[in-house]
Amino acid sequence: MKLEDLLTKRSEKKCELCQAETPLKVYEVLPQTRTTEDNCIMICDKCLAQIEKKEELDSAHWSCLTTSMWSEVPGVQVVSWRMLNRLRSESWAMDALDMMYLDDEKLEWAKATGDHDNDGTVDLHKDCNGNVLQAGDSVVLIKSLDVKGSTLNAKLGTVVKNIRLVENNTEQIEGRIEGQVIVILTKYVRKQSS
């Protein structure tokens, strides 16, 4: 039986963290030397986006951890512990962490990525108005910009389509203006309405 089939059967077609019945994905709980049903879990898109910090943490959504932390599946236990740590500013999450037990091996695994050291804040690419930017969005320049190393001047009101997010810098995006790919500061753009 394929791993995905085993996980689907085990999860009863529900997210193993929040019990949502929306489309599920196999999530590999890193680090791991080989993929097994103990270190992979089935999760929904909302849980995945927040685990991978592509969406702000929704404390109300994660109250499900007070149930999932008791799972017998090692991967579910580890992810529950990591997320409870990221939410430790919430009193309910601290209470759950105080009750939760992981043996030494699972605790070492849970701490291995360092993700538990992060707080619940998520750094997202946001425009001048605080709207979250996604790869592929269209933005409008709110200021005329001189492009360094070029004679190009990007005028106020220019629409930049199909932007790319600069991976390790939430204050920068990349976009094509007059056939040239340039880096643009997010504080100088406004997300274009769909």
CATH of the domain at 150: 2.30.30.40
- Domain region containing 99: 3-117
* Distance of alpha carbon 147 from alpha carbon 151, whole angstroms: 7
pLDDT in tens, 132-164: 888 899 999 999 988 888 888 889 999 999 999
Q: Is residue 133 part of a domain?
A: no
Could you tell me how many helices (H) and strands (E) the chain has, helices first? 6, 10
Both 17 and 78 in a single domain?
yes
Q: Is residue 131 part of a domain?
A: no
Q: What is the pLDDT of residue 21?
A: 95
Q: Is residue 132 part of a domain?
A: no
Q: For the chain, which ranges sit under pLDDT 50?
A: none
Q: What is the pLDDT of residue 50?
A: 92
Q: How many domains does the chain have?
A: 2
Residues 6+ apart with CB under 8 A from 71: 16, 77, 80
Q: What is the pLDDT of residue 152?
A: 85
Listed residues 85, 117, 149: the one ending a domain: 117
